Amino acid sequence: MAILPIRIYPDPVLREPAAVVDLVDDAVRKLVADMFETMQDAPGVGLAAPQVGVQRRVLVYRAFDDDPLRALINPEITKSEGEQTENEGCLSIPGLAYPVPRAERIVVRALDPNGEPFEHEAEEYEARVIQHEVDHLNGILYIDRIDPELRREAKRILRERALGNAAPQPQREQSRL
């Protein structure tokens, strides 16, 4: 296993939709293992393959410390209900967190690391983590889903960072997505 470098905004790979995994083989299983190690080292609660520069529809997560590590290959959210808004951050956009509306409950269909199809129901924080990572697979970042005024603030801070200027950070509760 290996710790992979995490791509940081504005890396263009973060904006590209990931390709479907046609065959779950040893290379995909190695990617999953490397992503688990990278996510835990970060530390984070979720990681999508584009965040490590791999344009495949693979994500890993562990919403809570007591939960098992989970891998979703070719995930598709088939049902969503309710709404929740909580702060989110991102390993690819370090140091920022903003309130993001998400579905409160979801059903996701995916393949496991053995290539077996399954469905999983998730709610609240786990549902938020999955939705955040599925967005990454579609080239969507959480800042795309926030209030327009907050989005302008986030983009200003990110521009200033890119220019090497120290920008004041919003004082919000951080998330490890």
Query: Do residues 51 and 6 lie in contact, with contact meaning Cβ atoms separated by under 8 Å?
Result: yes
Gyration radius (Cα) of the chain, Å: 16
Query: Do residues 71 and 158 lie in contact, with contact meaning Cβ atoms separated by under 8 Å?
Result: no
Helix H or strand E segment including 39: helix 26-41
CA distance 177 to 169: 18
Active site residues: 133
Strands across the sheet with 105-111, in order? 46-48, 58-61, 70-81, 105-111, 117-123
